[in-house]
Structure 1
C-alpha cells in the first residue's frame, strides 16, 4: 500500500515499484525528459532577475529613475514639461541679458547726446549776450549747428544687433519714455523695414502679458524731436510722386509714418482702367520710394476721388476716399477706406465707412488713435441737410458703436477735419452756416466716442466766409485749427491755438505775410520738436498763378523765420497742398501742379529738414529754455531706461530662482535614488546568481531520467 506524504513523489514506504511510478506520473513535476518544467521555471525567474538587474544598471549608470515611458508614464509627462520650462527660463535669462545690453547701448548714446546739449547751451548762453557782433554769432552758431548735426547722427546711427534704438524705431504709440506695456501696439519685429514699436522682451514660458514679457520702448531722440527747430531747409530737390503721368493726377494727401517714412496718396484718371482711381506710394525715412503706384481702390467703376490718409499706432496707415455709386452704397457717393501695413501691403479688403447710404456721403477725414484704432468723419446729406458724421473703430478695424452726428445744431455743414488727442480722444472741426454765415466750429470727443465739449466757434470774426478748416495736435497736447477767411476782402490763412481741453490760447492770428490776392487751401501738421507748420496755395505770389507756400511756428503759435516757397515750379498753377511732419523733425509737402510733367496735372513733393541756429541774440536766448527742455527729455529717457535695466536685473534673478526650483522638482521626479536603487541592484544580483546555480541543477534532472531508462 502506498502512503502519500503530501508532496508528489514522496512516500513513507514503497511496497512495490508500480505504486511509486504511478504516483510520480500523477504529480505536476513529472520526471520526464521531453519537457524540463523545473528548468523552465528557473529560467523564467532568472530572466526576470536579469531584467530587473538591467533596469537597475541603466538607472545607476544614467542617474535617472525614468528612462522610458514604461518606467513611469505620468512621471515622464510631468518631467518633460518641467524640462521644457527649465530650458525656456534659462533662455529667458539670456533674453533679458540681451535686453540689458541693448539698454546700456542706448543709455551710452544718450549720455553723449547729453554732453552735446550741455555744449549747445553753453554756446547759446555765449551768443545770448550783447557783447558779440552778428558775424561773431554766426561763428558761434556754426558750432551750435555742428552739435545739432552730431546729435542727429548719433540718434540715427545707434543700433543694437541691427535694430535702431534712438530714431523712433522703438518708440511706442504715445511716445512714452523707457519701458511700457502697450496693449494695442504691435512690437518691433526685429527688422528695419517692418512696423515700429517697443521691443518685446520675452522671458517667460508662455505668452501672457502679465507674466511672460514686457516692452522696452526708447523714445525718438533725433535732434528735431528733442529740440524745437527754429526753421526748415530744403532736403533735396522737388520730386514727382506719381509714376503714371498720362492725363490727370491730382488732389494729393500725405501722412508721416512711425518708421520715419511717409505715404502719399492721390486720384488718377484712367490708371485703374476707368475714370478716377485712388493711388498711393510709400517712402522710407530717406525719401526713397519703397513701392510703385499702389492702386488703393478695388472697385474701379465710375469715380473715386479726394483721398485722405492717416498713420496708425501699429506703424501702418489707412487711406479713405469718396466713391461714386459703389455697392453697397450704390445710390450716390459713399466713403470707403483701406488699411495697410508699413510696407504698403493691404490688410483685408476695402470697406464702406458710412452706414446711411441715401444721397451723398463725401469729404472724409481720418485720424489714428493712440489705442491703435482710428476715427473717420465725413459730410452726409442723407437727411436732406449736409451734416457731419463720425465713425470710430478699434485696433482690429471693428466699428465701435454706430455712426454718430457730430453737431447738435442743424445747418449746412461741410469739410470736416479730425485729429487725435493724447488722452485717447479726438477733436473735430468743420464749416457750418448755422449762424447765417460760414464759420468754423470745433467739438472734442472722449476715447469712448462721447462728446466732451459742446460745439464752439473757432473764428473770432464772423463776417465774410471761413472755409477749409484743418486741425493738428501738438506734442504738448494742445492743438491748432487753421482755416481760410475772406474777412479782410481777400482770402487769408488764419489759425487758432487751443489747449488740450479746447480752451483758446490767445486769439486768431494770420499765418501768411503776403496778403495780395488770395491765400487758400490750408494744410496743417505738428512737428516732432513741438511746434507746427502750415502750408497753403497763394495766388500770384510767385508771379504766375497759384504757388505753394508755408510757415513754421513754435508750440505757442509764434512764427519762426519767414514764410517759405515750397513749390519750385512757378509756371501755371500749383494747388491742394498737404503737409506732414516726420520723425526727424522735418516735414514733407505734396501738391498738384499743372502741366509740370507735360501731361496735364501731376503730383509733386518736397522734403524739408529742421534747422537750428543762434544767429541772433533773440534766437540764442530762446534756445536757453529750449535746450533745458531737451535735456529734461533726454534725461527722463535715461532715467526710465535705468529703471528698466534694474527691473530686468530683478527679472533675471527671479527667473534664475524659478529655474532652480523647477529643476529641483524635476530632479525629485526624474532622478534615481542611488541608495534605494543600489539595494535593489544587490538583491537582484544575488537572486540572479542563485537562479543561475539552480538552473544548472534543474538542467541535470533529465540525466536522472536517462539513468532510470538505462537501468542504472
Structure 2
C-alpha cells in the first residue's frame, strides 16, 4: 500500500504566504515612507501619531492666528499713534492760543485748526478697522485670539471701552481761549403756565372743614390784597375764609400738572382766649379810636396775631383793626375816716381845744388816781393810756381847774376782732388787684393793707397794726376785662363782600421740554432779526434751534442749542465756520404754556456780544490726560504684540518637536525595511524552489499509477 503525504507542499506554501506578506509590507513601507500605514501595523502607534498630527496641524493654524492677532494689535497701535500725533498738535496749538498777546481773531484761527484735529480724532475712532472690526471705539471689546491647538488657549487683545472719541477723551467742546465756566446742555426751559385746573384734592384743609373753593379779592378792596384765599365751611356750616398760598407747576413732557393750595391763617377767627383769660370769663370792652364805647353788637376776632373788632354780623359786618389790652379783676375799698380806729393816737386837743397833760387828772374805774397816764383818742372815742401802754375806754370831764379822765372799765380795750377777707362778691381776693383808697379817695397809702372783717360785718383795713374802718358801700369786686381799642376810624368790609372772585384755574410755573410737536419757538438775534418757528429736531431725535435766517448757504451759525451756566445763566451754544468754532450768546428767555391746549411758546432773544468759554478750565492738563490714555492703550497693545511674538516662536518649537516625535512613531526606517524586503525576496525564491521539489514527489506517485 502506498501512502501520499501533502505536508511538505503545504508547509512550503504557507511559508511562501508569510514571505509574501513580509515582502508586501516592506514594499508598502518603502513606497509610502511610513512605518504605520494602517492600524494593523501598530494600533497604539497609530493612535499616538494621529493625536500628534492633530496637535501639529492645530498649532500650525494657531501660529497663523497669532500672526493675525499681532497684525491687529499693530494696526490698532498704529491708529493710536495717529491719534497721539493729533493730540500733540492740539497741545502745541493750545500753548500758543493761551498767550495773552493774541487777539480774539487770532485765537479763533487757532481754535479752528484745533477743531479740525479733533474731528480727525473722531474719524480715526470710528473708521480704524481690521477685517471689518472697529479697533478704537470700544465696540470690539476683548478680541480673543486662538493661540493654541486646544480649548482655552487664547490671548485677548484689549479693545474695550472707553474708546478714543473726543467725548471719551474728555475733550468735548474743547476751547482754548475764553472765560472760565462749566456748561450743561439743557433741553428744558422754565416758563409760565396758564389756566391749570384746581381740584378739591389740591386743598390742605384742616380737619373739620369742607367744601373748599379758591377765591381772590379785588386789588382795590382795602384790607384785602390781591392774594389767594380759601373759602370753606366749618363743622357748624358757617362760612370761613383762610389766607392761602398757591403752588402750581406743569410739565409739558408728561402733560401733567400739580397744584398745592396751602392753608394759612383764618380771616377774622373768633377769639376764645386772650393771654391767660377765657373770653367767656371776662368782661369784653370795645372802644373806638378816641376811647369811647362802641355801640352795637361787637366781637373780638383776629387774623393771625392781628386783632380786630367785628361790628355787626353777616355780609354787612365791618372790622376795625384793634389793639387789645387786659385789666385783671379788682377789689375796691375806701376808709370812712383817715383816722385809725385802733390803736388810739395821743390826743392833742379836747373838744377842739389844746390842753396840757399836767392839767388832767386820771382815775381808773374804781376812782383811784392813775399817775403817769396820758389821754388818747380814736375817732370820737377817748382812751386812758396807762403807764404800761394799755388802753382803757374813758370819759372826759372839763372843770374850771382842768380836765378829769375816768376809765370806764377795769379791762383794757383791744383791737377789733377781725378775719382777713378771702373773696368779695365771689371774686377771690388773691386773684385780683387791690384798689384801697383813703377817705379823700387817694391811692398809694394803703397798697400794703389787708382787708379784714369783724363778726358783725364791719370791714377794716389793717396796715402796720393799725385798723381803719371801711365804708361798707365802698367794698366791691369787678371781673377781669379784655379791652379792644380800634386803631382806625375806617372799617374793613366783610370777606363775603370783598372776596367774591371764584377761581377754578390758576397760573403757575411751566417746565417746558423743547419738543417741536408741542412747542413753538422764535429766535431774535442781537441785530433784531426775528426767526419764527426756529425749533427743529434732527434725524436722531435731538432738538436744535435754527439760529440764522436764509438757506443752507447762509454764512454764520445756523443751528444752536441751549446750555446752562452757573455764572451767566442760560446761553445759546452755536457752531460756526469751517472749523465748527463754538460761540455762546447770553439769552433772554420768555416762555408760556397754555395748559388746556397743551401748547407752549418760547421766545429767545440774544443779548450782549459773543462769548467764548474756555472748556475745560485746565486745557493743557486735559490734553495731558488724553495723551496719557493713548499712551496706556499703546503700551497694552505693544505688550500684547510682544507676547504674540513670543507665542509664535514657542509655536514653531512645539511644531518641530511634535513633528519629530511623530516621525519616530509613524515614519519608516529605510535601512531596516530594505533589509526586510531583501530577506523576504531571498526567502521567497528559496521557498519557491522548495515547493517545486515537494511537488515533484507527487509526480512520482502519479507515475506509478500510469
The interval holding the TM-score normalised by the smaller chain is 0.3 to 0.5
- In our comparison, the structure showing a higher alpha carbon Rg is 2
TM-score normalized by structure 2?
Answer: 0.40
Query: Which TM-score applies when normalising by structure 1?
Result: 0.39
Q: Which structure shows the bigger proportion of residues in strand conformation?
A: 2
